[in-house]
Structure 1
């Protein structure tokens, strides 16, 4: 098992499955791919990975989710783990939310739904090499 992970957070299981499939196709077995359907579930995954000494490199989070919006979640992540690269994926985020995430969560990139596999690869590859 790899000691580096990419975590995807979205309340739509079809989006999570698409992300996981694309990431596995693009990056193979280089990383662990974890999925969470809410910010609350993501924190559980983050804590489990931390206990297992698996480093989370990137979190890709939807913006519009129940309870905690993606920008808020990414800001919380950044406060606790400033080294994790944050990417927001959205079909509905307003510019204010994206700007807030850029300023307070050090947002690396924002992908708009529907994204292309090429866009996903470029963002993730560039982020990992920066």
Structure 2
């Protein structure tokens, strides 16, 4: 179980996301108004707040959404979970579809720090059931 620390979107791809604090999740699409939403396997990106804090402690000038994550969640190490894991938060049901990704060469964090945690720590999910998620909500791992 983890706590949602930030809910982030971007209006176009290739830029850092902005924390909007609450968002609507749409079945088989992703987050309303997010550039990465669509009918594909990476509708929502999730990242561990704890891993971001470790990176920030190295002196990284990061804010919520810096890694392109949609949901920043404290208390869950996402990369340790298997593909197919389901998460519930309020009415929203997500299913883990991918662990990690290749970092594109234009990544702002990589340019500044020489490293980026999203490729090894970030995960992606599809939206099975829609609804709203806001900061402070609890994200549960379903067995």
TM over 0.5: no
More strand, by proportion: 2
User: TM class by shorter-chain length?
Assistant: under 0.3
Point out which structure has higher relative CO (alpha carbons under 8 A, 6+ apart): 2
TM-score computed with the length of structure 2 as normaliser: 0.25
TM-score computed with the length of structure 1 as normaliser: 0.27
